[in-house]
Chain A
Amino acid sequence: MSAIVQNLLGPGWPWVRLLLYLAGIGAFVGANAAYLVLAERKIAGRIQRRPGPNEAGFGGWMQPFADVGKLFAKQMMIPPGTDRLLYCLAPLMVMAPPLICLTVIPYGENLVARNVDVGLLLVFSFGSINVMALMLAGWASRNKFAIISSARVVSQNVAYEIPMLLVVITLLMATGTLNLNEIVGQQGGWFWNWNFFRVWVNPLMPVTFVIFFICMLAETNRAPFDMAEAESELVAGAFTEYGGMGFGVFFMAEYANIVVGCSIATVLFFGGWQSPFVVLSGPVFGPLWFMVKLYALVFTVMWVRWTFPRTQFYNLLNLSWKILIPISLFTLLLTGAMMKLPLLLHHLF
């Protein structure tokens, strides 16, 4: 169909396409942020044996609108003595990276805003801006809790960037490309072709995913690694001084980041838009499969949050430096060895 539209519009098509995707991604992030909050509260309610929000319209389904209405109605106050520029810049900076990252995610075979060859690199480079935003928020707020929080966020993100990138490199060695759509393309056919199950490339592939998932939780500051917010220790961490929509943006960005993280996990490990069975694939079912996998992972993220207590900060760093980094290094070496071993044997014998 896009071919017809393309012919119709002629040279103007790339711009229209860009605008369409911009609107689409904006709507996707907005809807996700709004309804994932509701989903989280409903799931939390379910886990805690209570109904969750059920008052605002149609069994609670209008709750996000009520929330957003409330947040907009609140005054956004800039406390005296803060660094006004940075204080206002932080919410913008926290929201921009997930929006950019989503442009390269392939939702379907042809459903990707920008099919960039270095898509994965782009995601990780923009993804790491997130920490800057939280640091700015904490620093600019002129609040002791916020400053402690921003110090924590930086050391946490630095610590978890490393194992995350190590496992991604492990995957890259197997896939040989940074283009996300190509990575998905390689995982076609039955579900055992997904990277998660490709134990013949590396017998530790599921472990790699677990490391990736843990790092993703830590990078998105989700429980049990929510050091940035840590509400029972640091009140609201870096967001303590934010109110109204300033806080709302941080809140939205958290969910947008989860969506990005889970999308990447889906693409890298679970075959993106590929059907787990050979049947039921194609341009209609592709995005559907993607969404199913994506939200299954998002659900897992929420499930973890409502099950575990928060880790202690130094244990969190120990987990990264003493456990995750050595294991991910080992998987990296193992993958390399397994790829080169046949070659070596061939040369020797």
Chain B
Amino acid sequence: MIAQKEAPPAGPSGGAPQETFVLNLGPQHPAAHGVLRILMTMDGEWITRAEPVIGYIHRMHEKMGENRTWAKFLPNTSRIDYLSAMHYTHAFVGAVERAAKIEVPARAEYIRVITSELNRIASHMVWWGALLSDLGGLTPFLYAFDDRELILDLFEGICGARLTYCYYRFGGLCNDVDDDFLKGARAFVKHMPPRLKMYRDLVTDNIILRKRLTGIGPISADMCRRYGATGPVIRGAGVAYDVRKVEPYSAYPQFDFKIPVYPECDSMARYLVRMDEMEQSLRIVEQALDSLPAGPVMGKVPRVLKLPPGDYSYAVEAARGRFMVRIVSDGKDIPYRVRLRTPSFSNLSLFEEASRGMILPDALAMLGSLDLVIPDIDR
């Protein structure tokens, strides 16, 4: 393990300042997963300062929210974080339902939980493959996409889309699930545990991976709190913060599941949190499938939706952490203000502090362990 170096302002024996250079990582860089740019001031391979520069694919979703009706903004929510589109739609739908006091049938809530958790697994699979390819192991990516494919096929069957689902509607869902989906979901729940075991044997227990992640990129619980980092980042710092437990929503209180927590604060802890989370998600899906109630999947929703004035917020546990939608209504059929609080934004904002004094490959390993989706940061 490498001891972290303090940022050296002056050279040895207080002489001239040590020579540093600026390395522009991105916006097109293989480790940046999209158009993230990091302006690194380097002392050799040591980072003295790393400043993320974001906004390259800023699309101003919040402004789009202000010039269309509530329902018309719904497809946008899938496009913020395209890897956990279900969660994002859930938050917006939840906020509107909360404001308009729409009752959602139990069956719809259960299906929301099933699809959300499957989406979480799919998202974690992408993260896992991408992290490993950041670390130079290209094979796991393909295996991860194999599993993700099964989930995407299931989603395609129920809502027609493979990435930007827009499956949830105010008051329920756009379609009921069919037998194929239920059968497929059950098959997936059976299929996944042996695969996870294989990944553990093949990748997680690999000594090179352990060396790359253990003790690298410490992010303490206090740092998470000050920067608002949530999700697997804060759970990898030993805090069992999960919106599903802290602010229970949808049908989550009905299910028995654990929040995986690792106190080590390093990249490995964040890695293990996500790996364990997939198992827990499978548990939730299984329970929900077993107790799926019958009935309609759509509640009573007024034809023209006008929300009572006021502001309402709704948070969900997305794959990357706490996603919150705050809507402000002035009583019209279009939102007055839509605020999207995205987890990757806060998770990345701590990178500058956390990466100080690290060496480049470690910093990139840490960046991978934060699981960034760039449209989620830029919105």
Direct interface between A and B, CB < 8 A = yes
> B31 interface residue, CB < 8 Å from A?
yes
Chain A residues whose CB sits within 8 angstroms of the CB of B146 once the complex forms: 49
List which A301-326 residues lie within 8 A (CB) of chain B.
306-315
Chain B, Cβ-Cβ closest to A147: B21
B123 to chain A minimum Cβ distance, whole angstroms, is 20
Q: Are A309 and B135 in contact (CB under 8 A)?
A: yes
Q: Are B136 and A310 in contact (CB under 8 A)?
A: yes
Chain A residues whose CB sits within 8 angstroms of the CB of B211 once the complex forms: 311-312, 315
Chain A, Cβ-Cβ closest to B142: A48
- Residue-wise interface mask of B (110-141) relative to A, using a CB-CB cutoff of 8 A (1 in contact, 0 not): 00000000000000000000001111111101
Q: Are A309 and B361 in contact (CB under 8 A)?
A: no
Q: Are B359 and A314 in contact (CB under 8 A)?
A: yes
Chain A residues whose CB sits within 8 angstroms of the CB of B67 once the complex forms: none
Q: Are A231 and B359 in contact (CB under 8 A)?
A: no
Q: Are A312 and B212 in contact (CB under 8 A)?
A: yes
Chain A residues whose CB sits within 8 angstroms of the CB of B141 once the complex forms: 48
Q: Are A309 and B143 in contact (CB under 8 A)?
A: no
Chain A residues whose CB sits within 8 angstroms of the CB of B23 once the complex forms: 144-145, 148
Asked, given contacts A148-B360, A309-B135, whether A233 binds B31 with beta carbons under 8 Å apart, the answer is yes
> A235 interface residue, CB < 8 Å from B?
yes
A89 to chain B minimum Cβ distance, whole angstroms, is 25
Q: Are B139 and A232 in contact (CB under 8 A)?
A: no
Chain B residues whose CB sits within 8 angstroms of the CB of A256 once the complex forms: none
> A47 interface residue, CB < 8 Å from B?
yes
Asked, given contacts A47-B139, A48-B138, whether A231 binds B208 with beta carbons under 8 Å apart, the answer is no
- Residue-wise interface mask of B (62-95) relative to A, using a CB-CB cutoff of 8 A (1 in contact, 0 not): 0000000000000000000000000000000000
- Residue-wise interface mask of A (140-154) relative to B, using a CB-CB cutoff of 8 A (1 in contact, 0 not): 000011001001000
> A215 interface residue, CB < 8 Å from B?
no
Asked, given contacts A48-B138, A48-B139, A226-B136, whether A309 binds B364 with beta carbons under 8 Å apart, the answer is no
- Residue-wise interface mask of A (212-235) relative to B, using a CB-CB cutoff of 8 A (1 in contact, 0 not): 000000000001101000111101
Q: How long is the Cα–Cα vector from A73 to B143 in the complex, in angstroms?
A: 35
Chain A residues whose CB sits within 8 angstroms of the CB of B361 once the complex forms: 230, 233, 312-313
Q: How long is the Cα–Cα vector from A25 to B121 in the complex, in angstroms?
A: 52
Could you say which of A223, A224, A232, A315 has the most chain B C-beta atoms within 10 Å of its C-beta? A232
> A347 interface residue, CB < 8 Å from B?
no
CB within 8 A of A308: which of B137, B142, B360, B365?
B137
Q: Are A308 and B208 in contact (CB under 8 A)?
A: yes
> B45 interface residue, CB < 8 Å from A?
yes
- Residue-wise interface mask of B (351-369) relative to A, using a CB-CB cutoff of 8 A (1 in contact, 0 not): 0000000011110110000
Q: Are A314 and B2 in contact (CB under 8 A)?
A: yes
Q: Are A309 and B360 in contact (CB under 8 A)?
A: no
Q: How long is the Cα–Cα vector from A231 to B365 in the complex, in angstroms?
A: 13
Q: Are A309 and B212 in contact (CB under 8 A)?
A: yes
Secondary structure of the A side of the interface? loop
A129 to chain B minimum Cβ distance, whole angstroms, is 25
Chain B, Cβ-Cβ closest to A308: B208
> B258 interface residue, CB < 8 Å from A?
no
Asked, given contacts A144-B23, A148-B360, A232-B30, whether A311 binds B45 with beta carbons under 8 Å apart, the answer is no
Q: Are B142 and A232 in contact (CB under 8 A)?
A: no
Chain B residues whose CB sits within 8 angstroms of the CB of A231 once the complex forms: 30, 136
> A346 interface residue, CB < 8 Å from B?
no
Chain B residues whose CB sits within 8 angstroms of the CB of A309 once the complex forms: 132, 135-137, 203, 206, 208-209, 212
Q: How long is the Cα–Cα vector from A145 to B42 in the complex, in angstroms?
A: 11
- Residue-wise interface mask of B (211-234) relative to A, using a CB-CB cutoff of 8 A (1 in contact, 0 not): 110000000000000000000000
Q: How long is the Cα–Cα vector from A145 to B31 in the complex, in angstroms?
A: 13
List which A136-178 residues lie within 8 A (CB) of chain B.
144-145, 148, 151
Q: How long is the Cα–Cα vector from A19 to B124 in the complex, in angstroms?
A: 58
B275 to chain A minimum Cβ distance, whole angstroms, is 15
Chain B, Cβ-Cβ closest to A309: B137
Q: How long is the Cα–Cα vector from A136 to B188 in the complex, in angstroms?
A: 52
> B29 interface residue, CB < 8 Å from A?
yes
A187 to chain B minimum Cβ distance, whole angstroms, is 33
CB within 8 A of A223: which of B136, B143, B206, B209?
B136
Chain B residues whose CB sits within 8 angstroms of the CB of A148 once the complex forms: 23, 45, 360
Q: How long is the Cα–Cα vector from A224 to B139 in the complex, in angstroms?
A: 13
Chain A residues whose CB sits within 8 angstroms of the CB of B136 once the complex forms: 223-224, 226, 230-232, 308-310
Chain A, Cβ-Cβ closest to B211: A315
Q: How long is the Cα–Cα vector from A240 to B83 in the complex, in angstroms?
A: 31
Could you say which of A47, A151, A223, A311 has the most chain B C-beta atoms within 10 Å of its C-beta? A311
Chain A residues whose CB sits within 8 angstroms of the CB of B2 once the complex forms: 314
Asked, given contacts A148-B360, A230-B136, A232-B135, whether A308 binds B30 with beta carbons under 8 Å apart, the answer is no
Could you say which of B31, B133, B136 has the most chain A C-beta atoms within 10 Å of its C-beta? B136
CB within 8 A of B143: which of A49, A145, A151, A314?
A49
List which A33-67 residues lie within 8 A (CB) of chain B.
44, 47-50
Q: Are B29 and A306 in contact (CB under 8 A)?
A: no
Asked, given contacts A48-B142, A144-B23, whether A232 binds B31 with beta carbons under 8 Å apart, the answer is yes
Q: How long is the Cα–Cα vector from A315 to B216 in the complex, in angstroms?
A: 12
Chain B, Cβ-Cβ closest to A229: B136
A-B contact list, 13 entries, CB within 8 Å: A44-B138, A48-B138, A49-B142, A50-B142, A151-B44, A226-B136, A233-B361, A306-B138, A308-B136, A309-B136, A310-B212, A312-B211, A315-B208
| 7 closest residue pairs by CB, A with B | A310-B136, A309-B137, A48-B142, A309-B135, A232-B31, A232-B134, A232-B30
A interface residue numbers (CB < 8 A to B) = 44, 47-50, 144-145, 148, 151, 223-224, 226, 230-233, 235, 306-315
